[in-house]
Amino acid sequence: MRNAGASIDPPPDPFAAVRPDSPVVLPAHRQYSKDSSPERPAGRKKLPPGVSPLPPGVSPGIFPPTSSPGGQPGVTLPPPAPAQPWPMTASVRVRRSGDDPKVEPSVVIVPEPPESRNRLRLLLLLTGGLTFLFLLAYGIPATYMWGRVLPGTYVAGVRIGGLTETAAIDRVHQRFDGKDQQSLGLMLNGRRVAVLDPRDAGLTIDVEATVADAQTGFPTPFAVWQALIGERDLPLRVSLNPTKLAQRVRKVAKTIDRPAREGSIVYRGTTPQIVPPKEGLVLDQRAAAEAIKRAFVEAPASVSLPVSLARPRAAKAAFDGTLTAARRAVAAPITLANGGRHVRLTPPVIAANLTFLADDRGAVRPQFQAQKAVTGLEARLVGVAEAPREAGFVIDNGAPRLVHARTGKGVDATQLTAAVAKVITGGGSRTIPVSLAVIQPSLTDEGAMKLGVKEKVGEFTTQFPCCAARVTNIQKAADLVDGLLVRPGQTFSLNEVIQDPDAARGFVPAQAIEDDHLVVAMGGGISQFATTMYNAAFFAGLEDVEHTANPFYVARYPAGRDAAVSYPDQDLRWRNDTEYGVMIKVSYTGTSVTVDLWSTRKYDRIGAETSGRSEVTQPDTNSDNAPGCIPMEGGPGFTVTVTRAFYMGGKVFKRDRPQTTVYQPQQKVVCDQGGPSTPDGTARRDRPNGQDAGKVASPGWTIESTPQPTPPPR
């Protein structure tokens, strides 16, 4: 017989089988006494000595002595405890008797582990497994890709995936080197307007920066995944010189930009006319620079330039509604009053200084040039002694002498402008009391002395016959121009100085050309003054801005160097393109007019190179029996070219661009009804011929002399 040994199971509950409401009494054959051995019932096997019938770990001493129902002493178990010592879910483990035939089967209670602990163990196992699989799937390809460009990587169509950084740079260089030497076409509406050399803008491909975008370090999981399932195409990095590119774009913009033309109402004579507004085109320079940068890598490289419409401030309908006010503005003179002094602004003067323009809000409003309108009239309002005076020069003993500037009283131009605008838009009295203000001269003595007016730089004289009506107009023009000072950069305009040659300003009627025949018109003779002025500026070396030759040759003028004016259509303009001031000094006699220009000489001398006459054409002869016909002797037409030469050190320093003049033949006119026997000269007066975009104040004039086969003294 062997001992069963200690149980490996937890101790059983000794009270599990005892009813809670009665004591447990062992059977007679299980009751024991210290003094006597109980009698074993039939069929019961006697326990070996030292073997207790109680469960393991239970001592018989815990049971008090008691009597069994048969009078036999027994052991009574204590009542059960009110609660189980081990509150747990238990499973029953039965020890089979076959394990040991001498050991009686017993029941062992084993507690089950909690269910949450099982779930946690399973979750940890799954997480660990997934982590291991992820590290296995990511670590192997990442280690392979480390130090190389990720597979499936392209740069502008060039495959660099799987290459080292150095090999990738070499491959991109091989493909794109020389790209900065290919011209870039700049397109506008499908038409090429310019060609850009990338080197002019500092455009080049930055290969190193491009490959650096591929990231050849240890790849991230996302990068590995992207490399395994797809491709990526990296853009080329482009470097440039922003200053050079901006300069090149601005140069292109000059050929594209067409600013919007603002509408206006101007006058032809005293008739208002609408100059309709027009949309413009503007290059978006910033967007163009970005588009050029993007298109640089294309093949063939070209870019559509981004442009936008430039809209005028006001539409034509706004000017249509203002025509009534424009007509009312020149319906009658405007009188300026200063106490007992009065000056009238005639409708032609009002028209010459009035326009209607749109403001920033799109409203069309009158713009009156008050200061210009009262020029020459201001002294009559305030008196010569009180009028302001700018610094200037007079010629004294063959040299310029300073005329000091003077502060004086003058018309307040700002208030006069507002008052005239109120008369035009609101009606009411056309007599305006002027406000006087202290006027400071715009040119002080100090400023005048810095202009360098010290010597004669150009002069010219033309002749005319005595006592003709046209002489009055020549001398009147000379008085208006004499003493003017043209500062550096300013442009002289004969029409701005003389304006409309009307009777109110001292001009008289004289012979003029209307179409192709002579008539009598206001202002005849001023073209001769214009020709004299043009030649003086020619030999002074000043820039020719605008001049128009006579339609046919006038014998008293040098061929190819005459100038005809027609207010306001044709003008004589030259610009003082020197750093010195230019003073105009005009003198005249009964038979000549001279223009001298004083400044600082820049060249030793200036000469005129005149070609021979070519393409000579003969005139026609026409008869005219209309009343007032003026006969014309006629003359041939021809072509001549004049070039201005500048001399320094006895040699030609430079030459101007040659100017070719084509003279039409002057027709011979025979008057059947008779006419003036000795015309005193000719002047052209242009008839209205459609709309004019410029400011027009009155019918114009261009004065020309009638060429004679044997001209009389003039």
> What is the Cα–Cα distance from 367 to 352, expressed in whole angstroms?
11
- Looking at per-residue pLDDT, the higher value among 22 and 506 belongs to 506
Q: Residue 390: is its pLDDT beyond 90?
A: no
DSSP code at position 71 = S
H/E run at residue 441: none
**Residue 516: which of 705, 680, 666, 711 has the closest Cα?**
666
Alpha helix locations (H) across 336-493? Answer: 347-352, 370-373, 378-382, 413-426, 445-449, 469-481
> What is the Cα–Cα distance from 325 to 350, expressed in whole angstroms?
13
- The three-point CA angle 77-81-84 to 5° equals 120
Q: pLDDT band for position 217 (50/70/90)? A: low
DSSP code at position 42 = T
At 409, list the tokens. Answer: 């009283």
- Looking at per-residue pLDDT, the higher value among 50 and 486 belongs to 486
- Looking at per-residue pLDDT, the higher value among 208 and 347 belongs to 347
Predicted pLDDT of residue 164: 81
On whether the pTM is more than 0.85, the answer is no
Cα end-to-end span (Å), the chain: 173
> What is the Cα–Cα distance from 312 to 280, expressed in whole angstroms?
8
Q: pLDDT band for position 32 (50/70/90)? A: very low
* Residues contacting residue 651 through CB under 8 Å, at least 6 positions apart: none
Q: Residue 110: is its pLDDT beyond 60?
A: no
* Residues contacting residue 295 through CB under 8 Å, at least 6 positions apart: 184, 301, 302, 303
Sort strands 668-671 and 621-624 into parallel, antiparallel or unpaired: parallel
pLDDT single digits (tens) 609-643: 999 999 999 988 888 777 778 888 888 999 999 99
> What is the Cα–Cα distance from 637 to 549, expressed in whole angstroms?
13
- Written as one string, the DSSP assignment of 330-378 is TSS-EEEEETTEEEEE-HHHHHHTEEEEE-TTS-EEEEE-HHHHTTTTH
Predicted pLDDT of residue 452: 95
- Written as one string, the DSSP assignment of 556-596 is TS-TT-----BTTTB--EEE--SSS-EEEEEEE-SSEEEEE
In Å, the largest CA–CA distance within the chain is 192
Predicted pLDDT of residue 12: 56
Q: Residue 702: is its pLDDT beyond 50?
A: no
> What is the Cα–Cα distance from 2 to 5, expressed in whole angstroms?
8
Provide, rounded to the nearest whole percent, the portion of the chain with pLDDT above 70.
73
Predicted pLDDT of residue 242: 85
Predicted pLDDT of residue 507: 93
| Cβ–Cβ < 8 Å for 457, 599 | yes
Q: Residue 366: is its pLDDT beyond 70?
A: yes
> What is the Cα–Cα distance from 294 to 274, expressed in whole angstroms?
45
At 190, list the tokens. Answer: 């499908």
pLDDT single digits (tens) 307-330: 999 999 999 999 999 999 999 999
Question: How many residues in total does the chain contain?
Answer: 714
- Looking at per-residue pLDDT, the higher value among 536 and 57 belongs to 536
Phi first, then psi: give them for residue 493, nearest 5 degrees: -125, 120
**Residue 374: which of 339, 346, 393 has the closest Cα?**
346
DSSP code at position 132 = H
Q: pLDDT band for position 647 (50/70/90)? A: very high
SS3 154: strand
pLDDT single digits (tens) 543-575: 999 999 988 898 889 999 999 988 878 899 999
Predicted pLDDT of residue 187: 87
Arithmetic mean of pLDDT, 236-254: 85
> What is the Cα–Cα distance from 512 to 443, expressed in whole angstroms?
39
Arithmetic mean of pLDDT, 435-457: 92
DSSP code at position 389 = B
Predicted pLDDT of residue 659: 95
Q: pLDDT band for position 705 (50/70/90)? A: very low
Which of 16-25, 176-185, 292-301, 505-514 has the highest average model confidence (pLDDT)? 505-514
* Residues contacting residue 629 through CB under 8 Å, at least 6 positions apart: 517, 669, 671, 672, 673, 674, 675
DSSP code at position 632 = B
Class of domain 318-449 (CATH, top level): alpha beta
Peptide bond into 676 cis (omega under 30): no
pLDDT single digits (tens) 119-152: 887 888 888 878 777 766 677 677 666 767 777 7
Predicted pLDDT of residue 694: 30
Predicted pLDDT of residue 275: 92
Predicted pLDDT of residue 102: 56
* Residues contacting residue 251 through CB under 8 Å, at least 6 positions apart: none
> What is the Cα–Cα distance from 494 to 512, expressed in whole angstroms?
18
Q: Which of 200-209, 287-296, 359-368 has the lowest mean pLDDT?
A: 200-209
Average pLDDT of the chain, as a whole number? 78
Q: Which of 299-313, 466-480, 544-558, 576-590 has the lowest mean pLDDT?
A: 299-313
- Looking at per-residue pLDDT, the higher value among 423 and 138 belongs to 423
Arithmetic mean of pLDDT, 670-681: 56
Predicted pLDDT of residue 34: 45
Predicted pLDDT of residue 84: 52
Indicate where the chain has its CATH 3.10.20 domain(s): 318-449
Residue-wise over 206-220: b if at least 16 C-beta within 10 A, else e? ebeebbeebebeebe
Q: pLDDT band for position 500 (50/70/90)? A: confident
At 317, list the tokens. Answer: 């309908």
Q: pLDDT band for position 375 (50/70/90)? A: confident
H/E run at residue 637: strand 637-648
- Looking at per-residue pLDDT, the higher value among 100 and 235 belongs to 235
- Looking at per-residue pLDDT, the higher value among 386 and 546 belongs to 546
Q: Which of 381-395, 448-462, 469-483 has the lowest mean pLDDT?
A: 381-395
Arithmetic mean of pLDDT, 244-266: 90
pLDDT single digits (tens) 45-90: 566 666 666 666 666 666 555 554 444 554 455 565 555 555 554 4
Arithmetic mean of pLDDT, 182-195: 83
CA–CA distances in Å: residue 668 to residues 210, 357, 549, 555, 630 = 82, 47, 20, 15, 11
Distance, CA of 164 to chain centre: 45
